């Protein structure tokens, strides 16, 4: 991984790009105040990778750059958010940080094959809402003396490890996409696979994870956020 990219200033291609990237970073920080993100710039495309711990997936947000750049660095999500000037689209890249383990295991860039039979964004949002309602109902049914973190974790694992329809995609990945603002009504949604990876993609971002048989990022262990 390249280091030494601190003090680099980029220009995003429009205020909308800056606002969307800021919203993504703010959501990551909501789940982890010490979140780090890996940045990869290639030409006029900037990819931002993060890992919201509640869902155990990798989240990817891309942004357009006004001028070509090329670098690969891991930085603090909070410091990167502070470096965004939404009014001008300027982005100050902070000094690098020591990357967490997940930053060295990114999904492949190519070789993705699209899966069939994926529900649309509205249907996926409905599935998430039903799953959240089920979690709350089952949690409320627990006797007070049994309402422990371990018991709630078991309920969460049972619900969020289920797969979406006839696909291999666990519901925790759909929940992550919804919580990160990727599943907006009317947007196209695609499920792709490459080797041991799955990817749920929308125009606003993607969530990726290793297939269950491939090990990798682990499983959800908490209830809905």
Q: Give the C-alpha separation, 154 to 141, whole Å.
A: 14
pLDDT tens track for 43-73: 999 999 999 988 999 999 999 999 999 999 9
Q: And the tokens for 38?
A: 């890996």
Q: What is the model's pLDDT at position 117?
A: 84
Does residue 189 contact residue 183 with C-beta atoms inside 8 Å? yes
The DSSP secondary structure of 56-118, one letter per residue, reads: T-EEEEEEEEEEEEEEEEEEEHHHHHHTEETTTTEEEE----PPPGGGG-PPPSS--EEPS--
Does residue 183 contact residue 121 with C-beta atoms inside 8 Å? yes
In this predicted structure, the answer to whether residue 225 has a pLDDT above a threshold of 50 is no
| pTM beyond cutoff 0.95 | no
pLDDT tens track for 100-127: 999 999 999 899 999 988 999 999 999 9
The fold for domain 8-99 equals DNA Polymerase III; Chain A, domain 2 (3.10.150)
Comparing 99-103, 116-120, 193-197, 213-217, the range with the smallest average pLDDT is 213-217
> How does the average pLDDT of the chain come out, rounded?
90
In this predicted structure, the answer to whether residue 137 has a pLDDT above a threshold of 70 is yes
Q: What does the domain layout of the chain look like in residue ranges?
A: 8-99, 113-214
Best CA proximity match to 225, nearest among 182, 176, 183, 158: 176
Q: Give the C-alpha separation, 35 to 102, whole Å.
A: 12
Length of the chain equals 225
Q: What is the model's pLDDT at position 213?
A: 55
């Amino acid at each position: 991984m390249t280091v030494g990219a601190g003090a680099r200033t980029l220009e995003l291609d429009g205020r909308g790009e800056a606002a969307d990237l800021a919203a993504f970073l703010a959501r990551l920080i909501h789940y982890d105040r010490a979140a780090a993100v890996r940045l990869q710039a290639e030409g006029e495309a900037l990819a931002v990778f993060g890992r919201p711990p509640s869902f155990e997936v990798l989240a990817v947000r891309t942004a357009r750059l006004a001028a070509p750049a090329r670098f690969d660095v891991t930085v603090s999500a909070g410091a990167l958010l502070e470096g965004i000037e939404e009014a001008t689209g300027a982005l100050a890249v902070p000094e690098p940080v020591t990357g967490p383990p997940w930053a060295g295991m990114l999904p492949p860039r190519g070789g993705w094959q699209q899966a069939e039979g994926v529900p649309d964004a509205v249907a996926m949002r409905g599935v998430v809402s039903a799953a959240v309602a089920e979690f709350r109902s089952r949690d409320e049914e627990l006797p007070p003396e049994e309402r422990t973190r371990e018991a709630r974790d078991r309920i969460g694992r049972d619900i969020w490890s289920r797969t979406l329809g006839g696909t291999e995609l666990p519901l925790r990945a759909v929940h992550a996409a919804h919580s990160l603002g990727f599943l907006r009504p009317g947007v196209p949604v695609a499920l792709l696979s490459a080797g041991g990876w799955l990817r749920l993609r929308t125009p606003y971002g993607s969530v990726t994870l290793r297939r269950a048989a491939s090990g990798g990022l682990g499983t959800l262990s908490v209830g809905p956020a």
